[in-house]
Structure 1
Amino acid sequence: MEKKKVLFFIYQMGAGGAARTLLNIINNLDRTKFTPILVTLNYNGSYEEYIKSDVTFIKLDTKRLRSAIFPLAKVIREEKAAIVFSTIPNYNTIAILANLFSFTGAKNIVREAAYLGGSPSENMKLLAYGMLYKLSSKVIALSEGVKENIIKRYKIKPKKIKVIYNPVDLDSIKKNIEHEEVANEHQAIFKEEDAKIIITAGRLVKDKDHETLIRAFAKVNERITAKLVILGEGELEEDLKRTAYNQNVLDKVHFIGFQQNPYIYFKQADVFVLSSKREGFGHVLAEALATGVPVVSTNCKPGAQEVLNYGEFGRMCEVGNAEEMAAKINEILNLNEEQTAQIIDKGLGRANEFNAKKIVKQYEEAFNQTIDQIEK
């Protein structure tokens, strides 16, 4: 069977979840059936070094998304791509337009990862995206909740949408834990024997609601000796430090920025906490489970509910409720060794359901279905 070329388009292979998902798909794609091509704008991304050497990697000569349409169209044409795969609404729009201007038989598959909309202006924008999405062959939703939102907000027919959860590269996570160490400048954080380590990871933006986590941590710290480790970068770092100062815990909250290998940090923690207001999937929850750390998460719709199966695989609390979050964290930290081991084993089993090797098979099936439509 002739191998088919799948062109993946994203703005950069940076630190975000979308880039990590594309990396996991590309690296695990069956090379006997598909040839992956990765196209980005002219940025350097932190995940580039992890791309397998056999991947054709092309950077367009522009850093402006709007300017990418015709250069991307040229790549689609020259590479003779069968499928153009993209993720995130703005980039999906560019990929669809570029494919139209490529004047080829390539088909678009767009992935929607976020639970968007709510305000009238946002809903109008999503209707506009939906008009373009209707030109694609298939829409991938990363959870059932995201699918329902696409039907409601984008007005896309259900039969066009396929739900595929995010792939988690368990082999890579295991390798990162076994062969790497916490950076030297951070090792002292984890060496205080009596201190419990609470950890989180995510961009320092409003939707991640680290403020509620810090307030919850302050309540936990009234009862036990603990430290809060925050992985991630963002515009709210100074505001969050002020919150920690006002809560009298600034010396116990450690902002350590983006880490290429967050898993070795997760492994050192006693509990991982996700404080988000909303999540399309909650990829970091699945990764935390895979490292063998108990998790506490807000009941953020729709993703966290689905990853944790409404509390079966981790404690859940109300969004924005620092009191309840603190109570759930304390529950985990006060479990005995046997109870903790049971939770960890259960979490590892759940993480295996998101194994990249399994999930990528579902993507391959979607690619094949789309290619069959082309050939018919």
Structure 2
Amino acid sequence: MGKIKVLFFIYQMGGGGAARTLLNIINNLDRNKFAPMLVTLNMNGSYEKELKEDVKFIKLETTRLSRSIGDLANIIKTEEIDIVFSTIPRVNTIAILANALSRSKAKNVIREADNLGGSFRENLQLLVFGMVYKRSSQIVSLSEGVKENLVKRYKIKPKDIKVIYNPVDVDNINEQINNGTINPDHQEIFNTTDKIIITAGRLVPQKDQRTLLNAFAKVNKQESSRLVILGEGPLKDELLQQAAQLTIEDRIHFVGFQSNPYIYFSKADLFVLTSIHEGFSHVIAEALASGTPVVSTDCKSGPAEVLDGGVYGALCPVGDADDVALNMLRILQLNKEERADIITKGHMRAGHFDAKQIVKQYEAVFLETLKK
């Protein structure tokens, strides 16, 4: 029996959590059983260079999802694909339609990665996605909270959903910390006796860095600190203006996207996430694996699951800058023994999401799906 051919489809191998998850699954799949292939739109992605050399990588001619169906269908058929794996609603929809058009034996496994919905228009759109999702062979949710949302808003039956947490490549994180270096342009930021607070994520409303800046301004009045922000996005100018209004602009450092964020995490005293909603919050698990204590908003639906209800890090109400600041100060002012205990527990928790274990769960799903 030949290897099972798994085609992974995503619009771009960019710097987001979905691309990082696909990278970790692809690189850690058992090559004795599976032959992974990656297909993206004609867009460059920062994670492309981290793919293992044996991964067949195809870029479609188009940069638009709606125009990718025919080419993707042709690849599924000519490559004799067994499993088509995709993530993100619109990408999932295209993957399902392309597989149907291919008239092949391939099965669709789709992954839902966020807690979407809320407005009437969004909820209606999710119902449409749910109708298409039901044509797949298996749906994977990256957290229990996202599963609940799939049942509630997509109208998917609970029995049709498997929960598999995001894989965190702990070995790779350790290697990048041990062998990586901070960009020379940023080294001066860390040459200080100030406390270093760090966050990572796109500069978009969902991540709510405005609340983080308000909380940081309060913290800095009591504990001399610096805030390092990893990520890019449309809100950068607004956040710079807010920092100026709070008179903390000389304390905030926007360092953009970094292919090795872990070396930055490892040199920080605290990682903070103030998102309004998340699916799993991959970056929290990565911060724990990097040995960095975590403060996060208790948004739906990932952080509480990653931090086990607050056992492995502090949880705060969404948008509550006062509570975020209090928890930041509490952790920053711990003594060495207390801090060491938090770091040890964080490493232990990150191990629960180790890619080696999580990818085995995906492999089991792929094998089960082929039997349907």
| TM-score, normalized by the shorter chain, greater than 0.5 | yes
- The structural deviation recorded for 1:43 is 1.1
How far off its partner does 1:157 sit?
1.0
> What is the match of residue 300 of structure 2?
301
The Cα of 1:147 is off from its aligned counterpart by: 0.3
The residue aligned with 2:60 is 60
Whole-Å Cα distance in 2 between the matches of residues 316 and 333 of structure 1? 15
In the other structure, the counterpart of 2:180 is 180
CA distance in 1, matches of 2:103, 2:361: 28
What SS does the corresponding residue of 2:242 show, helix, strand or coil?
helix
1:266 aligns with 265
Deviations 1:299-320 (A, max 9, x none): 1111001000110000111111
1:3, distance to aligned residue in structure 2 (A): 1.1
Counterpart CA distance in 2 for 1:358 and 1:224 is 40
- Which letter maps to 2:332? L
Alignment of 1:348-363 (within 5 A): 348-363=347-362
Structure 2 alignment gaps of length 5 or more: none
SS at match of 1:296: strand
Matched with 1:90 is: 90
What is the aligned partner in structure 2 of residue 169 from structure 1?
A: 169
Offset of residue 118 of structure 1: 1.1
Aligned residue identity for 2:135: L
Q: CA RMSD in A?
A: 0.6
Task: Give 1:197-276 correspondences, 5 Å limit.
Answer: 197-276=196-275
Structure 1 counterpart SS, 2:304: helix
TM-score (ref. length: structure 1): 0.98
Question: Which residue number in structure 1 is paired with residue 102 of structure 2?
Answer: 102
Q: CA deviation at 1:81?
A: 0.5
Partner of 1:79: 79
* CA offset digits 1:6-57 (Å, max 9, x no partner): 1100011111111100000000000111110110011111111110011111
Q: Quick one: distance in 1 between partners of 2:324 and 2:145? A: 23
| Correspondence for 1:137 | 137
In structure 2, the residue matched to 1:344 is 343
CA distance in 2, matches of 1:168, 1:95: 25
SS class of match (2:36): strand
Give the counterpart letter for 2:235 in structure 1. L
CA distance in 2 between counterparts of 1:14 and 1:298 reads 25
The CA distance in 2 between the partners of 1:80 and 1:47, in whole Å, is: 26
Match of 2:332? 333
CA–CA distance in structure 2, aligned partners of residues 311 and 294 of structure 1: 12
Match of 1:366 in 2: 365
Hey, what's the Cα distance between the residues in 2 that align with 1:46 and 1:223?
38
CA distance in 2, matches of 1:209, 1:98: 36
C-alpha displacement of 1:142: 0.2
Secondary structure in 2 matching 1:310: helix
Deviations 1:47-94 (CA, angstroms, capped at 9, x unpaired):
111100111111111111111000000000011001100000000010
Q: Distance in 2 between matches of 1:180 and 1:147?
A: 37
Task: Report SS of the residue matched to 1:301.
Answer: coil
- Amino acid in structure 2 at the alignment position of 1:81: I
Task: Give deviations 1:184-236, integer Å, cap 9, x for gaps.
Answer: 000000001x2000000000000100001001000001111100000000000
TM-score (norm 2): 0.99
Amino acid at match of 2:144: E
Cα shift at 1:345: 0.3
* Counterpart secondary structure, 1:272: strand
| Runs of 4 or more consecutive aligned structure 1 residues displaced over 6 Å after TM superposition | none
Q: Tell me the CA shift for residue 2 of structure 1.
A: 2.5
